Each structure stands twice: as structure tokens, then as C-alpha cells.
Structure 1
Amino acid sequence: MNEIQCAFIEEYGNYGFDFEQQGVSTHFIIVSILVKESNKEFLEQEVEKIRQKYFHSGEMISGEVEDHLRIQLLNELKDLPFTVYAYVIDKRKIREDSGITFKKTFIKYVNRLVYDDLYRTFDQLDLVMDEHGSKEFMDEFKNYVKTTSIPDLFNYSSFGFNQSQSNLLLQLANLFAATIAQGYDRTLFSEQYRSFYQIIKDKMIGIHLWPYDYKHFLYEYKSEKPDAKYDEVIIKQAVNLAYQYIDKNRKSDEEDEKIRIDFLKFLLFNLKENPDEYVFTQEILDNLNAIREIKINQHYFRSTIVSKLRDQGLLISSSNKGYKLPASLTDLYDFVNLSSLTIHPMIQRISKCRDQILVATNKEIDILDQKEYEYLKRIIEMEKLAVK
């Protein structure tokens, strides 16, 4: 059996939709601090040292943390053995006629959204929430998981609540929930969020934005490039194709599909945070492997994950700096240029090989005569005509 992970879950925000009212959050955020059972005790000890250093006898209350102190805290926490998995729900983008703007319906919908994604992503997960809080989402989520997950003969559920506790790690989850909120929620937004993100980005194995809307990625993205008029079209197509693929395959039990979906979610998040930056292959693998016992390698990633997504028509740019969802025409040219460095020389090699055999056999054997090579034959002959 794979080592079980613990998920310490906290929320930020409230359930209201009257954004003119003071104190109503624009976003509802759920954060899971993930830690392997073997690392839990060590993590608690190290977090306790940090708590004592900065908060003395008090708890790590995220709302009382000023920007400069948050930066110090995050720098001390970033190398500890845990990762962060989060959901960011923009309540402003939920249609009023959807019915989800009613408090109870909203809570039930988010319950199902979070449960389905966590259950699909993690085969085993020991969930931990605040037992003494008054948060309705948490209470409903606990009830939903308990009625949905099936325990074994010893009343142990591989995905559920198994009496694990740690108030300290719930405080850590609260700290990260508030930190993420400072990059999204209008009532808590901080100009320092970019600094926070640069510190914690290696800890983030997933931030899932909902509802699905390509305009999430245009909010702060403005291009001054010559072909900027096409950028929104390109982003919209790339993002919507990614969302459509995720929605179509999100219930698949095939491990390859799960990895492809996690890869797309990673690219979506990177597009939001760093629209112009590529992500190196090793950084992507580190992210995908953080939640997997069986690690994937670069060959598998390129041939089974990236190639299959492109075969389905998804737009994924690549260069010698890694991968990204395209945000501009330049990103698409990067992909074409990189591909041409491989495709054109290979076609030339095939052409030379073919010519050698044609000469040696007095044109009796053409290695491209097979039906499946007809397209290659046409490409090579067209290239020869172009040269003439």
C-alpha cells in the first residue's frame, strides 16, 4: 500500500453574493496542506518553532500578518516537507440565474466540486478539518465525505476522516489560504502578492480556478506586441480547448488521462501567474510527481502526455525553455520553429536515403511507394520542385 497523505483543509471567504456589502468576499478559497504521514511529526515540530518565533504564545492568525512578516514566514516555510493544493472560486463569475448563488446550493455545489477533484487526484487521503469551527462549508463537506466514502471492515477509509488531528497544521493551511486570497480577492488584495507567489510557487502543486472562463487569464494580461490584436483570440482558444478536455476526461480512471489533466491544470495556473513565461520540463515533472508514488520520466511525459494532447488538437507551445499555453502569436511561432528544427532535417534524411536506393536499384525500389508513406512522398517531391 502506498504511504497515505494527510490533507489539512481550511477555507477563506464567505458565502454571500452581495458584493456591495462590506466584508463580502469576491472569492471563496479552499486550501489543502498535503503532507505524508512519515513527515507529519517533523513538519509540526518545525512549524511550531516558526510559530513561537513570530507569534510567541498565540496562533498563526493569517489576518494579522503584515506583508513584510508574511514574506519572512513564507521564506522559512518554503523548504519544509509539504505541498499546497487549492481551489479559487470567483463568485462574481457565477450567473445569478444558475441557482448556485443561494447559500445552501453554493455550499453543496462546492462540496461536490472539491470532493470529485480530490478523489480523482488522490487514491488515498486522510482529511483533517477544524472540529471546533462554525464554518458551514466544512461541516457539510465532512458529512458529504462520510456518506460518500466507503470504509473497510475496520472502519478505516482510504479517502476520508480517520481521526487525525493537528491544530498547528490547520493554522498553516489558514496562512496559505489568506496568502492566496491576497492575489485574487478584491477585499484582501495585496500589491506584494507577486513577491509571495515567487516564494511559494514550488510548493503549489495545483490552484484550480472556477468557473472556467478564459477571461481569468486576461484580467492582468496586456500585450504591447505588434500582433497583440490576435492575442485574446489565441488565449481564448488555448484555454477553452484545455477546459473542454478537462471536462470531457475528468472522470476517467486511466492514469495517463489523470496526468494529462493535471498537466493542463498546471499550464492554466502558470498562464494566470506568468503569461509570458515557459516552464522547464523538470519543473513540470516535479509538480506532477509530487502527488504520485510511481514517478514519470521525460520520455514518457513527452511521448504519452504532451504528444497525445497535441494529437487531440490542444494548443501547447514549447521552446528550449519548456512548455506553456500560448498567450500570443509569438508563442505559436516558438512551437513551429522548434518543431521545424526536427521535422525538416528528418525529411531531408529520408529524401537522401530514398535517392540512394533509387540510384542503386535503377529506380526499381522506391522506399516511399507504400501507401502509408504517400504524404511523405508528396512533401519530398514538392520540396524538390520548389528548389528547382
Structure 2
Amino acid sequence: MNNIQYAFINEFGHYGFDFDQPETSTHFIIVSILVKDSDREFLEQEVEKINRKHLSKKEIDDSLRMEILQNLKDLPFKVYAYVIDKRKIREDSGVTYEKTFIKFFNRKIFDDLYRTFDTLDLVADEQGSKEFTQEFIAYVKQKCIPDLFNYSTFGFNSSESDILLELAEFIAETIAKGYDAKHHSHQYPSFYRLLKNKIITVNLWPHDYKHYLYDYHFEKTDSETDQIIIKQAVNLAYQYIEKHRKSEEEDERVRIDLLKFLLFNLKENPDDYVYTEEILDNLNAIRVNKIKQHYFRSNIVSKLRDQGLLIASSNKGYKLPVCLNDLYDFVNLSSLTIHPMIQRVAKCRDQILLATNREIDILEKAEYDYLKRVIEMEKIAPMNNE
């Protein structure tokens, strides 16, 4: 239990769907603050200092929120969150009833956390009045059976920390500033920049590519081609996540976590690539066995591309494409590797053909036929251009 990871869970929002009521939020947000056992005591002490100075105040305006985030940005915790846009839930789905809403998302969040984390000690306010949290605690305790020592590797184990639950509530309120229509703040981009390195992922629900079309294309460009590209990239990512979400294979878990990270980055920074090092920092934050760069490229990104997913890359990193130029970036980067390698194979082949009086062709085997045809086409192409 030395390497145990805690998840301090809190929520933001109202369960109702009557958006004409002032207290009814447009979004429901659940935040888990993740912290390792070795960092917990230090984090509690530091947050307590911030709490005494700031968080105890009844009103937190944007400037104070910025100051608090500045104080939090270097502390040892991560954020794993869910943002549910209640406006996008169809009335005929049945989820618009409070009890059904709570049960439905209890199950979805449990399934996702259980798949993502092998071990996790969950902490929430077990004596509180928040119905979603109380139902979630009951659901997890029902699903996760403790061992002979009354300990569950995934579940609630009577751990407590009011100060870190307050931190989870503060982060949930901060995320709401970027999503909830009734709590929106123009300062959210600044909040996000301070939170960025803390966020493992923000799971958006329902899965809807139109979130991205609205945020990106309708404000920046009317290009029909670009809209097709972003729609295809997002839908393929969501389809892959849904198809493999129950997989027990570790590589599939990493691929799903990568896609979630890229989807979130697309939502917040559609034009920006993410450096490989930053992606690995994010993926490794929840893993004991750390992923290396070569393994990431060959077993994670390459396998997703083999399945037809659209992932753009350049010397600045990776992203989901939002326009044709993003795809050209991928083609250009690939050509820098592919073309020189083909030329080297061609030169090697020519040398052996010359030395053996054309008796040995290293591309004669059937499995090299495609490579042989590419090389022969390259020899013809200059002649056709003359």
C-alpha cells in the first residue's frame, strides 16, 4: 500500500433540467483530485495554508481565483474530471429524471475510473448532503468487495481529508467557469493555463463532435473541408474509445487515455500540438510502469493509425487534426523519414545488382514487391517529367 493513490472526489452543479430556474446549472461536473500517499501530507499542509489565506472567504472573484491557482500550480496533485452538458441530453433518453441521471452517471464514472486505475483509494464526504456523491459511495461499496483486512484496492477505505475535498470542490468550480453557461468567466483561458499541467483528462459527455465544430470552426473558418476533417477525427476517436473501453490489455488502456488527452487538448487548444514529453508526463502520472518514447510511438500512436484514426504530428508533437494543413504536417513529417529510407534501400539494391551482374536482387521476395514497385516508379518519374 506504499504507492497507493488517493482520489478526493467532489462535484459542481445541480441535477435538474429546468434551465429557466436560476439555481439549475447547464453542466454537472465531477472532479477527482489525485495524489500519491507519499505526497498527501505535504499537499494537505500547503492547501491548508492557502485555505487560511484565501479559500475560507465566502466570495472568490476572478482575480482571487487566479491568485489561488498560482499558489496551487506547483503542488503535487493531478485532476481527473467529468463535464456533463445537460443541455445535450435528449429528453427521451430517460436520463433527465434526477434519480436516473444519478444512477446512470454513477455507473459510467465507476466503470471509467475502474478501467483507468488498477488501484485507487476513493475519498468523498460520506456524511454530506450531496445526493450524487452519497449514491456513488453506495454504488462503489456494492461493486468492490474488501479483503480479509477490510481493504479494497479500488474503493472507499474510510480515508478522510476535508481540506483536499475542498480543493476538489474549488477545482470543479474553476472548470465550471469554462463550461457552464451560468457561471462562465472570460478569465477561464487564464485559469486553464495555470491548471493545464495538472489535468490528466476532462471527460466530456455526451460524446458529440459538434462541441468542437462550434468552438473551433464556426468562430474561425467556414471551410467545409476543415469541418469534415474535425468531425471525422473526433468521431473516430470516440468510436475507438467506446469499442475498447472494457479491454483489460494495458496498451489499449494507454491508447484510450491518449485519445482522451488529445480530445481535451482539441477542446482547449485546437491549433496547438502537444510535445511528446508532455503527453508522456500525462500518461505516466497514473501508471506505475512508465511508458518510454519509442514504445509510445511504435505501440501506441502507430497502432491507432493502423486502425485508421487521424492523428496529426509535426516536430512540435501530436494533435487531432482540425484542418487540411494539420494533415499536410503529418504527410510532410512522414516523407522526411520514408523517402530517404527508400532511397537507401534502392542504393543498397543497386550495389548488389552491380556486384553480382544482376544475379541477386534483394527485393526479389514476394513480400518486398510493393517496395520494388515504388523504387521502379521513382526511376521512371524523372523520365516522365523531362
- Output the TM-score relative to the length of structure 2: 0.97
Shift of 1:355: 1.1
Once residues 173 and 226 of structure 1 are traced to their aligned partners in structure 2, the CA distance between those partners, rounded to angstroms, is: 37
Residue 27 of structure 1 corresponds to which residue in structure 2? 27
Residue 248 of structure 2 corresponds to which residue in structure 1? 253
Residue 329 of structure 1 corresponds to which residue in structure 2? 324
Residue 89 of structure 1 corresponds to which residue in structure 2? 84
**Structure 2 unaligned regions, length at least 5:** none
Once residues 12 and 172 of structure 1 are traced to their aligned partners in structure 2, the CA distance between those partners, rounded to angstroms, is: 12
1:238 aligns with 2:228: no
Determine helix, strand or coil for the equivalent of 1:187.
coil
Once residues 227 and 132 of structure 1 are traced to their aligned partners in structure 2, the CA distance between those partners, rounded to angstroms, is: 51
1:128 aligns with 2:123: yes
Determine helix, strand or coil for the equivalent of 1:18.
coil
Residue 265 of structure 1 corresponds to which residue in structure 2? 260
Residue 102 of structure 1 corresponds to which residue in structure 2? 97
Q: After TM superposition, list the pairs within 5 Å mapping 1:1-388 onto structure 2.
A: 3-55=3-55, 58=56, 64-222=59-217, 228-388=223-383
Determine helix, strand or coil for the equivalent of 1:218.
helix
Once residues 18 and 54 of structure 1 are traced to their aligned partners in structure 2, the CA distance between those partners, rounded to angstroms, is: 33
Shift of 1:2: 6.3
Determine helix, strand or coil for the equivalent of 2:247.
coil
Determine helix, strand or coil for the equivalent of 2:66.
helix
Opposite residue 32 of structure 2, the aligned amino acid is S
Opposite residue 38 of structure 1, the aligned amino acid is S
Superimposed CA distance per residue, residues 51-100 of structure 1 (whole angstroms, 9 cap, x where no aligned partner): 11225xx3x66xx2100000000000111111110000111111111111
Q: Which moved more, 1:237-246 or 1:215-224?
A: 215-224
Shift of 1:357: 1.1
- Output the TM-score relative to the length of structure 1: 0.96
Percent identity over paired residues: 71
Once residues 232 and 326 of structure 1 are traced to their aligned partners in structure 2, the CA distance between those partners, rounded to angstroms, is: 10
Once residues 146 and 245 of structure 1 are traced to their aligned partners in structure 2, the CA distance between those partners, rounded to angstroms, is: 30
Opposite residue 18 of structure 1, the aligned amino acid is D
Shift of 1:358: 1.1
**Structure 1 unaligned regions, length at least 5:** none
Determine helix, strand or coil for the equivalent of 2:225.
helix
Superimposed CA distance per residue, residues 148-189 of structure 1 (whole angstroms, 9 cap, x where no aligned partner): 001101111111111110111110000000000010000100
Opposite residue 335 of structure 1, the aligned amino acid is F
With over 3 angstroms needed to count, the CA separation of the structure-2 counterparts of 1:294 and 1:222, relative to structure 1, is: same
Determine helix, strand or coil for the equivalent of 2:14.
coil
Opposite residue 76 of structure 1, the aligned amino acid is N
Once residues 9 and 156 of structure 1 are traced to their aligned partners in structure 2, the CA distance between those partners, rounded to angstroms, is: 19
Shift of 1:132: 2.8
Once residues 219 and 171 of structure 2 are traced to their aligned partners in structure 1, the CA distance between those partners, rounded to angstroms, is: 33
Shift of 1:42: 0.9
Superimposed CA distance per residue, residues 16-40 of structure 1 (whole angstroms, 9 cap, x where no aligned partner): 1122222211111000011111211
Once residues 357 and 227 of structure 1 are traced to their aligned partners in structure 2, the CA distance between those partners, rounded to angstroms, is: 54
Conserved? CA contact 2:12–2:172, under 8 Å:
yes
Superimposed CA distance per residue, residues 180-233 of structure 1 (whole angstroms, 9 cap, x where no aligned partner): 001000010000000000001000011000111111112221378888221110
**CA RMSD for the aligned pairs?**
1.4
Conserved? CA contact 2:34–2:77, under 8 Å:
yes
Determine helix, strand or coil for the equivalent of 2:197.
helix
Aligned length: 383
Shift of 1:374: 0.5
Conserved? CA contact 1:227–1:329, under 8 Å:
no
Conserved? CA contact 2:126–2:137, under 8 Å:
no
Once residues 21 and 93 of structure 1 are traced to their aligned partners in structure 2, the CA distance between those partners, rounded to angstroms, is: 17
Once residues 224 and 345 of structure 1 are traced to their aligned partners in structure 2, the CA distance between those partners, rounded to angstroms, is: 40
Once residues 224 and 168 of structure 1 are traced to their aligned partners in structure 2, the CA distance between those partners, rounded to angstroms, is: 40
Conserved? CA contact 1:2–1:293, under 8 Å:
no
